[in-house]
């Protein structure tokens, strides 16, 4: 094999092949070898890395390689790249960058952490491990909240609201999405993890929504700490995508999740109810009469939550609606306060 061909092979074969990377200058002569152009183009690299990922059992092999190649070329998705670029040769620096990022994917790093940003309902959010990566189904939770707010225009118009509390804000996805859609709203976003508080703050600044959000370190399980939030109550809504994975299911999570995302964001205790019941217990302190709680849960929770609420009538909370996600699973709950 000629030298240039050996170098190309080493670069493309990633950590499974020759390690250590190739000096970028080694590729300065690629243009004199037209047969390589296909391999060195975005489309060629996507095919190459898709095959490598598939061979190594990396989930979403094509999507991962497309996102990484597009990212290095300054686009969000491969489809966003002008088709004329798909077959254009890349620079040595771009090739090296793709190599580095794809090697991280081979170590099962989630693509969202590799890219360092991810879209949630059209908002581009910075992503930093181990802060929870927002999931597409949570977009449906936000959609439901927006629908409910739209049905109560008096709240918005008369009082300049709604005032919303988000428990467990993570990257800020839910809070910032609500703020961007509800120009009169105010949000109190709380999380027990410093990394999540910092990231929500950064994302709020990035989206210029920082003036309508209070970001407060707060652990819903710590006794008495909720009094910090009283100055903002009563609130119209509480929304949360809490940690709700049953503890014994934690080890079945994908390596991407288990190794890189914060278990505190996922593990909801024995029946996934620890934080859910804590939110429901605290809610009456903060909610207006007939205020609402919107929760993302897993499919066993609607029944568990309903039973739990029935055994806690003193809270005056009723499960008024359950919604299914795009896979048809019951995943979202609307709980309403019914009295003082």
Cis check for the bond before 234: say yes or no (omega within 30 of 0): yes
Nearest Cα to Cα of residue 102 among 92, 114, 93: 114
272: contact with ligand SAM by CB under 6 A: no
Cis check for the bond before 174: say yes or no (omega within 30 of 0): no
174: contact with ligand SAM by CB under 6 A: yes
CB 276 → ligand SAM: shortest distance, Å?
11
CB atoms < 10 A from the CB of 135, how many? Answer: 14
Helix (H, G, I), strand (E, B) or coil at 124: strand
CB within 8 Å of 246: residues ≥ 6 apart: 268, 270, 271, 272, 298, 300
60: contact with ligand SAM by CB under 6 A: no
220: contact with ligand SAM by CB under 6 A: yes
Q: Can you spell out the DSSP letters for 131-179?
A: SPPPPHHHHHHHHHHHHHHHT-HHHHHHHS--EEEEES-TTSHHHHHHH
CB 240 → ligand SAM: shortest distance, Å?
7
- Which CB atom, from 132 or from 308, has the smaller least distance to ligand SAM? 132
- Cα dist. 307→2, 10, 79, 298 in Å? 71, 60, 47, 15
275: contact with ligand SAM by CB under 6 A: yes
Of positions 72, 165, 188, 196, contacts ligand SAM by CB under 6 A: 196
Residues numbered 138-157 forming contacts with ligand SAM, rule: CB under 6 A: 138
CB 313 → ligand SAM: shortest distance, Å?
25
CB 323 → ligand SAM: shortest distance, Å?
16
Of positions 66, 140, 148, 193, contacts ligand SAM by CB under 6 A: 193
Size of the site for ligand SAM (CB under 6 A): 25
Of positions 137, 219, 271, 298, contacts ligand SAM by CB under 6 A: 219
- Which CB atom, from 20 or from 224, has the smaller least distance to ligand SAM? 224
Residues numbered 110-139 forming contacts with ligand SAM, rule: CB under 6 A: 132, 134, 138
Distance (Å, rounded) from C-alpha 294 to C-alpha 3? 61
Site mask, ligand SAM, residues 227-256, x = CB under 6 A? --------------xxx-------------
CB within 8 Å of 48: residues ≥ 6 apart: 12, 39, 65
Of positions 58, 215, 265, 317, contacts ligand SAM by CB under 6 A: 265
CB 265 within 8 A of CB 275: no
Contact residues: ligand SAM, CB under 6 A: 132, 134, 138, 167-171, 173-174, 190-193, 196, 218-221, 241-243, 264-265, 275
């Amino acid at each position: 094999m000629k030298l240039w061909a050996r170098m190309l092979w080493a670069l493309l074969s990633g950590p499974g092949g020759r390690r250590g990377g190739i000096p970028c200058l080694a590729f300065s002569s690629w243009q004199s070898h037209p047969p390589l152009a296909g391999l060195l183009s975005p489309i060629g690299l996507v095919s190459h890395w898709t095959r490598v990922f598939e061979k190594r059992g990396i989930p979403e092999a094509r999507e991962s390689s497309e996102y990484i190649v597009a990212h290095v070329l300054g686009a969000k998705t491969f489809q966003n790249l002008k088709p004329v670029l798909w077959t254009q040769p890349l620079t040595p620096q771009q090739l090296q960058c793709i190599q580095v990022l794809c090697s991280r994917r081979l170590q099962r790093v989630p693509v969202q952490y590799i890219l360092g940003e991810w879209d949630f309902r059209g908002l581009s959010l910075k992503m930093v491990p181990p802060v929870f990566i927002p999931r597409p189904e949570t977009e449906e939770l936000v959609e439901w909240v927006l629908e409910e707010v739209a049905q109560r225009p008096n709240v918005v118009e008369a009082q300049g609201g709604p005032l919303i509390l988000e428990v467990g804000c993570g990257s800020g996805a839910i809070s910032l999405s609500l703020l961007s859609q509800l120009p009169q709203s105010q949000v109190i976003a709380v999380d027990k993890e410093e990394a999540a508080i910092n990231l929500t703050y950064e994302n709020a600044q990035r989206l210029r929504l920082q003036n309508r959000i209070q970001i407060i370190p707060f652990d819903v399980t710590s006794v008495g700490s909720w009094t910090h939030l009283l100055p903002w109550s009563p609130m119209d809504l509480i929304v949360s995508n809490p940690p709700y994975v049953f503890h014994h299911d934690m080890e079945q999570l994908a390596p991407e999740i288990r190794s890189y995302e914060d278990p505190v964001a996922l593990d909801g205790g024995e029946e996934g109810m620890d934080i859910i019941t804590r939110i429901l217990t605290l809610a009456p302190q903060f909610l207006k009469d007939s205020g609402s709680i919107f929760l993302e849960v897993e499919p066993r929770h609607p029944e568990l939550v309903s039973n739990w609420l029935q055994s806690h009538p003193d809270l005056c909370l009723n499960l008024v609606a359950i919604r299914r996600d795009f896979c048809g699973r019951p995943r979202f709950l609307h709980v309403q306060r019914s009295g003082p």
